[in-house]
Chain A
Amino acid sequence: MTTPAIQLTSVRKDFGSHRVLKDVTLTVPTGETFAFLGRNAAGKTTTIRMLLGLLKPSEAPGEAGGSGGSVRVLGIDPAVHPLTIRGRVGYLAEDQQMYGWMRVEQMIRFMAPFYPTWDHDLAKDYLKRFDLPAWTKIRHLSKGQNVRLGLLLALAHRPELVILDDPALGLDPIMRKEFNRDLITHLQGEGRTVFYSSHLLYEVEPIADTVAILHNGVIVKQAGTEALREQVKRIVLPKQDYDRLETPAGLLDLAQRNGEAAITLEDPGEVIASLQASGTSYRVVDLNLDEIFEAYVAGDTESKQVEETV
């Protein structure tokens, strides 16, 4: 078995008394495009900083297990060998700050010495392919050019793993699509592993092999993008029929209105089979990724009654 590109096991992180990550376990196989989803402040950037060796998991003295879990990136502990990791990983920060007074070409020459494997011909090639003006000062670049320059700087040392922290933030729809195309051609096409954090789900869905959802400090779901669509469904049925049902396993959300109950659940096969067997009338609704995400991070399984205002 090959070493996964990223392996987090029971990772925990506290800031003071605030526990940001409780128990994060995830595996990113080599060559995959992995979408890391979570609400704002869910701990996505904290996780990424650990992957880069900028933060260490918190110790938990006195608790079962004791340690704060383990982080392995390309088989290495980034907290122990941060420079090795940064040499083999490309990173595009959420709101990367670059020296505005530098020209694009100067910035590239400034970055190169930090990386032993920097490929200057490749950098020049990206400059052309990303349509970047070499002699323009960085502060005069558009937002889209800025992100593409960031991507160039993250890729020119031929990293095995690329970590993108909400890269499409602030790009217009056309630039986002262009960015995704670059990702598909220059990263997926070359078999590199991509770890992509975002909260724009509909942007991520077309390009991700796997989706993981971080919520309340734990990974509440990790699944193949298409498999996730198959696994989570909403079933709408008459309320009295729902009340006769035992609370189904894997229930994520329950809403009731107008005498109907809508249940959103994982692996609905069993429930559907029992509804069919009892002759209950029901309908199965396919959900989009946004709705699935919402069910996991904001789902309410208490028997909430939506008041109808007439």
Chain B
Amino acid sequence: MFIRIEKASGVPISRQIADQVRAQVMSGAVLAGHKMPSIRELARELAVNQNTVLRVYEKLTAEGLLDRRHGDGTYVGVRPKTAKLRGQRQQFKDELSQLVRRGQMLGHDAGQLHELLEAVIVKQASTPISTTTTENKP
């Protein structure tokens, strides 16, 4: 698993790590049962506080993405149940409302916003983002 930290970014480091692990697990790039690096190893590799990595692992474990086995290590879990994603859904909704607000500031009315969204959905549906969306391929 490759993780990259961007220093001096507006995004906190724990969120940077969590987002990248989540993206790789959700897209199927890393499969269930894959052993994650230990907290010490990952902290050393990224030159990041061990407590930060620990918090990320705990958070992702609570989401069901990771499975911490006591005395053994941390593994990629089976796919998280959708209920666990409520937090991310809410965040997505917030981001979307901000985006809509910016669109309104640019002078787009409701009809135009619908058109734009429709166009993006059509475009995305024809480009697979991971192995799980291949059924959408024409």
Using CB atoms and an 8 Å cutoff, list the residues of chain A in contact with chain B. Answer: 33, 177, 180-181, 184-185, 188-189, 201-203, 205-209, 225-226, 229-230, 281, 283, 285-290
Q: Which residues of chain A come closer than 8 Å to B43, judged between CB atoms?
A: 184, 188
Q: Which residues of chain A come closer than 8 Å to B55, judged between CB atoms?
A: 226
Q: Contact at B7–A206, with CB atoms within 8 Å? A: yes
CB distance from B11 to the nearest CB of A (A): 7
Determine whether B52 belongs to the interface, using a CB cutoff of 8 Å to chain A.
yes
Q: Which residues of chain A come closer than 8 Å to B47, judged between CB atoms?
A: 177, 180-181, 184, 206-207
Using CB atoms and an 8 Å cutoff, list the residues of chain B in contact with chain A. Answer: 5, 7-14, 40, 43-44, 46-52, 55, 98, 101-102, 104-105
- CA separation between A303 and B83, bound complex, in Å? 46
Q: Which residues of chain B come closer than 8 Å to A290, judged between CB atoms?
A: 8
Per DSSP, chain B at the interface is helix
With A181-B44, A281-B101, A283-B98 already in contact, the answer to whether A209 and B9 are too (CB < 8 A) is: no
**8 Å CB contact of A206 from B10, B13, B40, B101:** B13
Q: Contact at A206–B44, with CB atoms within 8 Å? A: no
Residue of A whose beta carbon sits closest to that of B94: A284
Q: Contact at B7–A286, with CB atoms within 8 Å? A: no
Enumerate 29 A-B pairs (CB-CB under 8 Å) in ascending A order.
Answer: A33-B49, A180-B47, A184-B44, A184-B48, A184-B49, A202-B8, A205-B7, A206-B5, A206-B7, A206-B47, A206-B48, A206-B52, A207-B47, A207-B48, A208-B49, A209-B49, A226-B12, A226-B52, A230-B12, A281-B104, A283-B98, A283-B102, A285-B10, A286-B11, A287-B10, A288-B8, A288-B9, A288-B10, A290-B8
Q: Counting chain B CB atoms within 10 Å of each CB, which of A180, A184, A201, A229 scores highest?
A: A184
**8 Å CB contact of B49 from A188, A287, A288:** A188
Q: Which residues of chain A come closer than 8 Å to B50, judged between CB atoms?
A: 184, 188-189
- CA separation between A226 and B14, bound complex, in Å? 8
